[in-house]
Amino acid sequence: MHIPDAVIDDPRVIMATSAIALGGLGFAVSRLKNQLRDKTTVLMGITAAGIFAAQMVNFPLFFFGAPVSGHLLGGMLSAVMLGPWGGACVIATVLIVQCLLCGDGGLSALGANFVNMGLIGSICGYAIYEPLRRAIGGSRGVLIGAMVGAWFSVLLAAGTFTFELAASGRQADFFNVLGWMVLVHAAIGVGEAVITGLVVRYVLSVRPDLIYLPDAAPVAKPIRWSQTGVAGLGIALAVAIFLAPFASEHPDGLEAVGGWFKFIDVSKEVQPAVTPLIPDYQMPGLTRWKGIATAAAGCVGTLVVFGLGMILAGTITRGTPAERGPERVAPDAA
């Protein structure tokens, strides 16, 4: 659900969403400083890499015969792994790389995209997830809370975009646009919830200590973050290589609704404000072989966002204690 350039074109809305995005990111960074260095650094790298790769894999949907696709937003998933503040920083990292490296999401809309997918997706999603997790308890609470929070985060992001669009001067058909954005993204949100649930269930089964649980009981467990980082990066690269080339080419939910209500011209490609190095996730020089070009672009992007995520986390948490000794795991998850 990346907003391209020229969709939100009112300078006041661009400035307002950018200011909210910068303020929210600054607050998230200040809160992330309190988290332990080793775990946060590695987890932020592999989570950012995994979400970047997963967002390349659009899955197909159909509404009254109209082909539509959706993809993981990842705000809730990153919040489950790193908490709401770390999750927001992960999404910011992914969005910046997607915008500048691949031209996915407009530079003028970067603030709005972060508000919708980072602040709404991670922080508001976590506000739904955490009470459910506590109420249900144990690993089941983590799983159910994550899936419910993921579904609602997609709906909230879609609704927020509609208000941003109206504020930029496109009030015509506001309620129709809002209704269709919510309806289409309710279906996409099911995919978001399923993907989030599968990933969380896997992590709970193999490394429950990776789940962010501020109230969990400490359990002694050896820490080998280098192995965790290599394994996580390997999985992300596998998604980019073997799944991304088979992604659906149908317009995503935002593009589809934009085409129906004429606030996005799907017949022509919008030129990004900054020329990307890997336009449209196609590695230059390999475009004769589309699948190979996509896989190569996915690999490069995944490695870039992994490195940037680790550097950012390491810089933010510098001076905080490195993690040693006991781990914290979900009750009943070991």
Domains (range + CATH), the chain: 11-324 (1.10.1760.20)
pLDDT for residue 327: 41
Whole-number Cα distances in Å, 181 to 68, 127, 187: 12, 22, 10
The residue whose two tokens read 């949907």 is 61
pLDDT at 322 over 90: no
pLDDT for residue 328: 45
How far is Cα 67 from Cα 245, in angstroms, rounded to an integer? Answer: 18
pLDDT for residue 333: 46
Q: Average pLDDT for residues 225-231, to the nearest whole number?
A: 83
pTM of the model: 0.92
- At 126-143, the pLDDT tens digits run 999 999 999 999 999 999
Rounded mean pLDDT of the chain? 89
pLDDT at 85 over 70: yes
Over the Cα atoms of the chain, what is R_g? 19
DSSP letter string over 98-151?
A: HHHHH--S-STTHHHHIIIIIIIIIIIHHHHHHHHHHHH-HHHHHHHHHHHHHH
